[in-house]
Amino acid sequence: MDALLSGIKANNFVIVGRAGMDFFTPAGTATEDAEVFHAGLGGSSANTAAGICKLGGQAALVTRVSDDSIGRYCVNQLKRYGVSADYVTPVGGEFRNSLAVYESRLEGHQSVIYRNGAADFEMNEADVEAVDYARFGALITAGTVFAAEPSRSATFRAFELAKAAGLPVIFDVDYRPYSWPSPEVAADVLSRAAAASDMIVGNDEEFGFMAGSIDKGLDKARDLSQTSAALVVYKMGPEGAITFADGQEIHTGIYPVEALKPTGAGDSFMAGMLTSLADGHDLKTSILRGSACASVTVSRPGCAPAMADTETLETFLATHPGPTQR
């Protein structure tokens, strides 16, 4: 646990995974009825990187983007949020950046993800071997990066290189079935990634998926905390989270808000929790601050644009009546 916290406290993260473009509707509008869409930075790893920088940390993204105007848009957006794009490499041909089209509403919410010929899956071992890991305190990645080759092998190689440089590995399970060739491949690969990680964050369905059924997910999270990972966060949506660390189980609630849409919560939780630990908050407080960041994000349109900066987070915490109790 000490090595993990030491890496996090550097507040400087190398993040492996995708950047994409989001299109989202005005509040309450169905996609098929929309005449206007707003654009923003998306992709789970890019969102986490943006969230960290908005909260005062540093982050660099390692990925591939399409060698076209959409890829350049993603790079420009990363830089706008303060994310280093030193390790973002364009790829030509028919490969394209991912596109998410989703609605700013809860009832009947629809999200459509375009991932055909995804540029980020073209990230290779040479890309991750070009990283100067000594510059950073910890490596972060999300599960989608493992869904196809050569990205899968490249990310496992990044794990090896990060560990050799003394960096802890932080893994957001982030299981997206549409990206994978089969559930069986996903369960095997995500389980291997989890076993190689120092910190794991996932929801009840994701741990259940790795365990073989949702009723076994909590035991899977507990077992990982006892056998390989120093810290495991088992998220349960509106029921809060259970965090396993140093033989303890920390139960935390959520900050209820009037949500505008369900997207972006997990990425902002990760950013809020990690930067809070880096800023010297204790583990339970950091989990709650991550939960507050998630609540801020779902209450506003977009993903990266909706994430809290430091002032927004502190104002939210000062004015919200407090988290639900667990």
Task: Give residue-wise pLDDT tens across range 245-286.
Answer: 999 999 999 999 999 999 999 999 999 999 999 999 999 999
> In angstroms, rounded to a whole number, what is the distance separating the alpha carbons of residues 160 and 148?
19
User: What integer pLDDT is reported at residue 61 of this predicted model?
Assistant: 98
Q: Which residue has the tokens 């420009």?
A: 76
Burial 79-117 (b: 16+ CB within 10 A, else e): eebebbbebbbebeeebbbbbbbbbbbeeebeeeeebee
Mean pLDDT of 142-147: 97
Amino acid at 105: R
* pLDDT tier at 60, thresholds 50, 70, 90: very high
> At 117, phi and psi to the nearest 5?
55, 45
User: What integer pLDDT is reported at residue 165 of this predicted model?
Assistant: 98
Question: For residue 11, which of 133, 164, 136, 131 has the smallest C-alpha distance?
Answer: 136
Beta bridge pairs of residue 171: 141, 200
pLDDT tops 80 at residue 56: yes
% residues pLDDT > 70 (the chain): 100
3-state secondary structure of 156: helix
First to last CA, the chain: 24
Amino acid at 31: T
pLDDT tops 90 at residue 313: yes
User: What integer pLDDT is reported at residue 325 of this predicted model?
Assistant: 87
> In angstroms, rounded to a whole number, what is the distance separating the alpha carbons of residues 69 and 51?
24
Read off the tokens for 169: 């590995």
User: What integer pLDDT is reported at residue 326 of this predicted model?
Assistant: 73
Check if the beta carbon of residue 178 is closer than 8 Å to that of residue 147. no
Mean pLDDT of 300-310: 97
> At 198, phi and psi to the nearest 5?
-90, -25
Mean pLDDT of 188-214: 96
pLDDT tops 90 at residue 132: yes
* pLDDT tier at 21, thresholds 50, 70, 90: very high
User: What integer pLDDT is reported at residue 96 of this predicted model?
Assistant: 97
Mean pLDDT of 27-33: 97
Compute the mean pLDDT over every residue in the chain, rounded to the nearest whole number. Answer: 97
User: What integer pLDDT is reported at residue 108 of this predicted model?
Assistant: 96
Relative to beta strand 58-66, strand 111-114 is unpaired
How many Cα atoms sit within 13 Å of 308 on the Cβ side?
28
> In angstroms, rounded to a whole number, what is the distance separating the alpha carbons of residues 293 and 299?
10
Task: Give residue-wise pLDDT tens across range 149-182.
Answer: 999 999 999 999 999 999 999 999 999 999 999 9
Tell me the residue ranges of DSSP E strands in 236-294: 241-245, 248-252
> In angstroms, rounded to a whole number, what is the distance separating the alpha carbons of residues 233 and 15?
19
* pLDDT tier at 35, thresholds 50, 70, 90: very high
3-state secondary structure of 275: helix
User: What integer pLDDT is reported at residue 43 of this predicted model?
Assistant: 97
Q: Which residue has the tokens 């994000």?
A: 297
User: What integer pLDDT is reported at residue 123 of this predicted model?
Assistant: 98
H or E element: which one contains 117? none
> In angstroms, rounded to a whole number, what is the distance separating the alpha carbons of residues 125 and 123?
7
Superfamily of domain 2-319: Ribokinase (3.40.1190.20)
